[in-house]
Amino acid sequence: MNVLTKALTRLRRVSAKQIIVASVFALAVVGAAGAGIATKQKSFAAQDCTTNSIINCGFTNPQDLINHINNQSDLRDIYAKFGLAPSDYSRFVSSAKSGTAMKDGTIVVDGRVVATDAWSLGRHANSHYPQVTYNIAGETLYGSSDKTVFLSNSLPVTVLFDDKGVMQFAVLNQCGNPITTDNPVKPNYSCDALQMSATGKLNEYSFSSAASAGNGASINHVVYDFGDGSATVSQDTPSTKVTHAYTKAGNWTAKVTVYVNLPAGGSTVIAPAGQCVKAVKVEAPFFTCTYLQVTMPNESNKLAYHFSLKATAGNGATFTGVDFDFGDGNKTSSVKPANGGLTVETDHTYAKAGNYSVTPTLHFTTPTGEQTITGTGNCVAKVSPTLPPQPCQPGGNPAPGSQECSPKPCTPGGTPAPGSPECTPATPVTTLPNTGAGNVVGIFAGTSIAAAAAHYFIQKRRLARNTL
């Protein structure tokens, strides 16, 4: 009571002027404190429950915002005006990203600026800075630049991106006020080139690509389609080379498709076009028999022949060999070209004279397998081997008219001819001894004379020995 009494006593002593000054000072302090509290609350409080809020005290998560829209009739039209249509609600709930709206007018999501020159919507007009007026659902609303209305350097915001990775809709969490811009940062991405070069192997090419992405977009991977029905090939890095060998002839279209990551988990595909498409012409393998030549190495032997065959091959066809059918029942298989060339040679000697047709069968390898063709036209040879001339026949050795070839007497063509008297052998005559009387006497006389002579000679030899 003493304290109260003393206070009242002092109050009675204060003049009216002092009371007025004190009152004004007190109101100023209260106003300043209130302004400071309001500013602090507007800057940092989790909720803004002022009458300027589109949603009183804001929302806590994307689903909570959709619940407010469904429960407050004017919100559907307000948010649709600034990019959130009813058809976007489910995507907003599942895909919206948390971000920050800055006082400098930028909106940042995942550390990346997704918009500049942003401005926000409110329910109150303010003559201290420029505003844009909107009439929505029977209400007048006001848009103002964030640079002028933000009392804080940053405020939490929820952002929805479209299928191109561009900010479609943003809303301040604390008050539900839409925040938008005419200058969203658009991700950029492009397929710049499909690069193709020959590897040096038949119909084989090396492929790589050039693609670019920025402003929040990045290359996920690329897919090569070679156009010939073969399997596609995927690469994480566009510059990584892949090779492909075409095995079928035709006019093919090689192309690369670029897959892009977009902000907020979105993605897009860059369809092949322009420099990311290349025409590839693949010619069919060709192979044929060019000619079959025949020579007779030895003119004196008209049964022996030499055969020379020339083939043509290219675009993946390789000449591997020939089978020869000489027409007399004899064949030679797998005669190989020398040094992998296009010519083969072989010899054949016929056993007897005649007219024969020599037919080759040529073998080639191609990218699709082995191919075989049979010679026709210039690749079929006609030969007519003959026996060598016999002795004493025209061309023979010895030649007709030579001494060896002259007819002998008693031979065909000889003189005298066979059958003539001179060529008939004489019949031998046998004479028996004559045994008549005269002959007997003669024989006896002759015998006696011989015997006497022999006796005389013997006796003379004996006398000579006795004398000695």
Same domain, 371 and 305: yes
Same domain, 211 and 292: no
Inside any domain, residue 79: yes
Pairing relationship of beta strands 183-184 and 233-235 according to DSSP bridges? unpaired
Q: State percent of the chain over pLDDT 70.
A: 81
Q: Which residue has the higher pLDDT, 117 or 36?
A: 117
The domain of 173 spans 62-184
Same domain, 162 and 73: yes
Same domain, 77 and 165: yes
Inside any domain, residue 403: no
Q: Which residue has the higher pLDDT, 13 or 76?
A: 76
> Token digits for 118?
């942003």
Phi, psi of 423 (to 5 degrees): -95, 10
Where does a domain end: 140, 164, 184?
A: 184
Same domain, 113 and 196: no
Same domain, 271 and 308: no
pLDDT at 367: 83
Inside any domain, residue 302: yes
Give me the number of domains the chain comprises: 3
pLDDT at 430: 52
Same domain, 308 and 204: no
Q: Which of 3-17, 313-327, 361-375 has the lowest mean pLDDT?
A: 3-17
pLDDT at 207: 98
Query: For residue range 36-94, what is the model confidence (pLDDT) as tens digits?
Result: 333 333 333 468 899 999 999 999 999 999 999 999 989 999 999 999 999 999 999 99
CA dist 204 → 198, 210, 225, 233, 234 (Å): 6, 20, 14, 15, 18
Same domain, 220 and 296: no
CATH number at residue 371: 2.60.40.10
Cα pseudo-dihedral 112, 114, 118, 122, rounded to 10: -100
Inside any domain, residue 467: no
Check pLDDT > 70 for residue 138. yes
Give the mean model confidence (pLDDT) for residues 11-34. 42
- Are the CB atoms for 65 and 93 separated by under 8 Å? no
Buried b / exposed e along 319-353 (16+ C-beta atoms within 10 A): bbebbbbbbbeeeeeeeebeeeebebebebebeee
Inside any domain, residue 31: no
Same domain, 306 and 257: no
Same domain, 248 and 180: no
Give the mean model confidence (pLDDT) for residues 11-22. 45
Inside any domain, residue 394: no
> Token digits for 286?
């060709």
Query: For residue range 165-175, what is the model confidence (pLDDT) as tens digits?
Result: 999 999 999 99
Inside any domain, residue 412: no
Total number of residues shown for the chain: 468
pLDDT at 25: 38
Inside any domain, residue 116: yes
Phi, psi of 188 (to 5 degrees): -115, 145
Query: For residue range 140-166, what is the model confidence (pLDDT) as tens digits?
Result: 999 999 999 998 999 999 999 999 999
Where does a domain end: 252, 282, 312?
A: 282
Question: What is the pTM for the complete model shown?
Answer: 0.61
Same domain, 161 and 253: no
Same domain, 167 and 223: no
Where does a domain end: 339, 368, 383?
A: 383
CA dist 341 → 318, 363, 383 (Å): 9, 13, 26
